[in-house]
Chain A
Amino acid sequence: MLKIVNLHAEVEGKPILKGINLEINKGEVHAIMGPNGSGKSTLANVLSGNENYQVTEGEIWYEGHNMLDLSPEDRAREGVFLAFQYPVEIPGISNATLLKTAINEIRKHNGMDDISPKDFLAKMREKGQILGMNDLLINRSVNSGFSGGEKKRNEILQLLMLEPKLALLDETDSGLDIDALKIVSTGVNSFRSSENAVLLVTHYQRLLNYIVPDFVHVLSNGKILKSGGKELALKLEDQGYDWINKAELETESV
């Protein structure tokens, strides 16, 4: 589904990603872990097409497309979804309006008619229920005056409504208490299927207790230093990132 080859990217002229290689197949959940400033969020933003991040080298292939040729909106229409680390407020536009517009843009792109109001409403109720979001929250302006936890839940509501093929979750767990973390995880797990894939970026192993990954990658200084199964996350939790950095230093000095 997604193949990243030797990806280099920078922000305001400062190199952040320095040669990422990663392949994600349908049905897989990949977790990217790493210390602050390692480039985790940059990777998520580059994949969603944020123009503040410039790709300087490498390739990204997604479902047969050269992803770098696609605008952010076309990536979204092709089934890429980014759950933001800091969801943006849009006063005066209701969640329902945003979701309906987004769904119809995606449907239009795929040659489908607009969703019927009845179907839309039913879907919204169903997905809202999974996340414990009532109509009130759904009809409020997008993220306006939402608490941190509500914003994150709202991102997951959008994920469930838009049903992308590739979900990028950028530190969706940050700022969540344990109850909210469980709700959000339940939402993500209800999304998982053999037809889609998830790339989640996180600091902490905590989230991975609830959303169990198939692969864990450790990112440090713009490179994937180590990949493994879910047990890798536990080792990180136990020993921190230092042992990997040391290993890297040793490798470099050889």
Chain B
Amino acid sequence: MSEDMKIVEDLTQSEYKWGFVTDIEMDKAPNGLNEEIIRFISAKKNEPEWMTEWRLKAYRTWLKMAEPDWAKINYPKIDFQEISYYAAPVKKPQLNSMDEVDPALLETFEKLGIPLAERQRLAGVAVDAVFDSVSVATTFRETLAKEGIIFCSISEAIRNHPDLIKKYLGSVVPATDNYFAALNSAVFTDGSFVFIPKGVRCPMELSTYFRINAENTGQFERTLIVAEDDSYVSYLEGCTAPMRDSNQLHAAVVELVTLENAEIKYSTVQNWYPGDKEGKGGIYNFVTKRGMCRGKNSKISWTQVETGSAITWKYPSCVLAGENSIGEFYSIAVTNNFQQADTGTKMIHIGKNTRSTIISKGISAGKSNNSYRGLVKIGKKAENARNFSQCDSMLMGDKCGAHTFPYIEVENPSAKVEHEATTSKVGEDQIFYLNSRGIDTEDAVNMIVNGFCKEVFNVLPMEFAVEAQKLLAVSLEGSVG
């Protein structure tokens, strides 16, 4: 084994920094999934009857579906009857200010490095913190309300804005879409709802931190963002989960809708527990994220930095229905040890002059497997559609894998589709070059990786970019090839 390989081994074996469990009493549903459990969840959430029915319908759809097996991931079969589908802190606080937040909870956020109060004050970021399945603090709501912006938990939205929910929930990702979307539709417990009215530019970046806490509790969030004509919003999603032995299932659905001239920028930093060095434990992350550019000249932009989870199955997509609409996907996916990621995007061009850009950076270290899977589809009526895709993979060490699965379907001859792909290794020569300039190996690797990911960091909101760079450093802690 060469010296560099030894460095890889040493450095890829850093411990998960966010492994701790918050000690708050939980109100938890018994394990298992059936109509009774769904009614229980719906009742817990004080949902109207139509919502309960909506869930049950999704559940019945799910029962008829089969778990997908086409992704390049391996995991033991999930027993959906062994999972509890609802967990909430017992003391559900009705909060007027941050002072009323449970101190243990605040401490958790402290450990995560996202002190709410600090963030509000310094960054001007409104945070809707989701702690397991119930929202505990929603801030800045007043400022937003003045603009007519709604930013609340999805449960509140179901109770307070039923018309909007009925109109948009499931309009982009219907329950019938896929196995995990159907499951989510049946049992989702919380998530965020954002509504930006016509002509409003959201004055701040909206941010939600999700956190899975109770053992053996799958978290099923549901997020819906609607941007009406001529509006704009930037939404940040960050995730951290504590260390556990058993795998936790996570199946979220995120739906975005943009009307004419509207733009949604959705950024994610995901660093859920990836499992230990032997591949034990870790989050199973099966997510359906899709945006619908419904109006003319509208734009949806996905940016993701994925460093966590034992398994990632995630394809944030854009349906470009409106003429001249634009879809973008910028992604960094890091896998280490035994992590498996099968991630990418789908760009579905339906309208005329629609454009899409895909920039994907995959970094594999340890014994991990990292796959890019992307579909670019140009429909019959999508005159002059354009797509540019660039998929770059970087390997660290010689035990990991990088795979690219691009699918291109073109039904209109005026389309222009470009695809570029590269695979590189973090070279010994690059590391020695930096060493010889006084930079140690760990910093050298960080520099090389940051350079590799630069195009994606450049489109992340400022404070997120800083966090993302730190995360990458922690995830790879000096891996070399």
Chain A residues near B (Cβ < 8 Å)? 48-52, 71-73, 75-77, 81-82, 84, 87-93, 97-98, 101-102, 105-106, 109, 141, 158, 162
Contacts and interface: CB of A to CB of B under 8 A. Distances in A.
Given A51-B3, A72-B432, A87-B433, A106 B438 contact: yes
A90 B446 CA distance: 12
Contact of B438 (A76, A88, A91): A76
A102 B447 contact: no
Give 8 nearest A-B pairs by CB, closest first.
A92-B451, A92-B454, A76-B438, A72-B435, A93-B451, A105-B438, A102-B437, A88-B433
Given A51-B3, A101-B447, A92 B452 contact: yes
Contacts of A48: 436
Given A51-B3, A88-B430, A158 B437 contact: yes
Interface in B71-88: none
A73 B7 CA distance: 15
A121 B438 CA distance: 20
Interface of B is mostly: helix
Interface string B441-469: 10100011011111100000000000000
Interface in B403-462: 427-430, 432-441, 443, 447-448, 450-455
A76 B436 contact: yes
Interface residues of B, number: 24
Interface in B269-306: none
Interface of B: 3, 427-430, 432-441, 443, 447-448, 450-455
A71 B437 contact: no
Given A73-B438, A88-B427, A91-B454, 11 more contacts: A49-B435, A49-B436, A71-B440, A73-B436, A76-B436, A90-B430, A90-B434, A92-B450, A93-B447, A98-B437, A102-B437
B457 to A, nearest CB: 9
A73 B440 contact: yes
Contacts of B428: 52
A162 B448 CA distance: 20
Nearest to A101: B439
Nearest to A99: B437
Contacts of B450: 92-93
Contacts of B3: 51
B438 A82 contact: no
A44 B256 CA distance: 58
Contacts of A102: 437-439
A84 B433 CA distance: 8
Given A51-B3, A101-B443, A90 B436 contact: no
B448 A90 contact: yes
A18 B23 CA distance: 67
A139 B438 CA distance: 20
Contacts of A51: 3, 432
Contacts of A50: 432, 436
B8 to A, nearest CB: 14
A71 B442 CA distance: 13
B266 to A, nearest CB: 24
